[in-house]
């Protein structure tokens, strides 16, 4: 097999001796160098200065940037400011980030409120302002959810076991 006019190379399975295999490994870097020669030449070449290419423009600019405010009328100034503000708002808008922040705030405030109303222990139980809401909630949903301990300082325990094994026969 001949690669781009280089030495005859063999695959390792076709090689008759160790030197033929070494020829194959030597040919690869030359092949890759030939492949990227044009790219390397262009990267190494000196670039033209940008000032020359900008001054040799074939068509003149339609608008001067930035505009001279002293020469603009009040209406033109207002129009320019509105356009600039709109462009800045469009470029600085991050809808996905804003949505994530809003949802994070909503979930954190909701979690803290629900925890404070339904689960938080108040040091003197009489000072709990949400005691009536808490009792009503646990009376309605107490059969489906695990009820928390009463407001005295007893530890929270389950009255029924998690798994009930059948009695041995």
Domain-embedded: residue 169: no
Same domain for 75 and 130, yes or no, is: yes
Same domain for 77 and 101, yes or no, is: yes
Q: Which residue has the higher pLDDT, 128 or 1?
A: 128
Range of lowest pLDDT (45-49, 111-115, 116-120): 45-49
4, pLDDT greater than 50: no
> What's the mean pLDDT when you consider all of the chain?
74
Tokens of 134: 């808490």
Same domain for 145 and 64, yes or no, is: yes
Same domain for 62 and 44, yes or no, is: no
Same domain for 71 and 129, yes or no, is: yes
Same domain for 44 and 93, yes or no, is: no
Structural domain total, the chain: 2
Same domain for 65 and 40, yes or no, is: no
Q: For residue 68, what pLDDT is reported?
A: 86
Domain-embedded: residue 116: yes
158, pLDDT greater than 70: no
Between the ranges 13-17, 48-52, 73-77, where is the mean pLDDT highest? 73-77
Q: With pLDDT > 70 as the criterion, what percentage of the chain qualifies? A: 58
Domain-embedded: residue 103: yes
Judge if pTM exceeds 0.75: no
Spatial separation of the C-alpha atoms in residues 53 and 21, rounded to whole Å = 52
pLDDT band at 2 (very low <50, low <70, confident <90, very high): very low
Give the residue numbers spanning the domain of 103: 58-155
Same domain for 114 and 73, yes or no, is: yes
For helices 37-44 and 18-35, give the axis angle rounded to 10 degrees. Answer: 50
Same domain for 22 and 105, yes or no, is: no
Phi and psi, residue 2, nearest 5° = -110, 130
Same domain for 64 and 141, yes or no, is: yes
For residue 122, give Cα distances in angstroms to 10, 115, 128, 157: 83, 12, 6, 18
* Residue 118 near residue 111 (C-beta atoms within 8 A): no
């Amino acid at each position: 097999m001949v690669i781009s006019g280089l030495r005859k190379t063999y695959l390792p399975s076709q090689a008759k001796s160790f030197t033929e295999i070494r020829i194959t490994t030597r040919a690869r870097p030359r092949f890759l160098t030939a492949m990227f020669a044009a790219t390397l030449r262009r990267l190494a070449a000196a670039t033209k200065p940008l000032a020359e290419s900008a001054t040799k423009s074939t068509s003149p600019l339609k608008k001067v940037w930035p505009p001279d405010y002293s020469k603009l009328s009040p209406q033109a100034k207002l129009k320019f400011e509105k356009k600039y503000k709109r462009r800045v708002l469009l470029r600085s808008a991050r809808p996905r980030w804003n949505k994530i922040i809003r949802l994070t705030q909503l979930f954190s405030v909701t979690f803290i409120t629900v925890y404070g109303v339904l689960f938080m222990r108040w040091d003197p139980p009489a000072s709990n302002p949400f005691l009536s809401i808490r009792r009503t909630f646990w009376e309605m949903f107490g059969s489906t959810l695990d009820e928390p301990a009463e407001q005295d300082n007893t530890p929270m325990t389950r009255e029924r076991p998690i798994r009930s094994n059948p009695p041995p026969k």
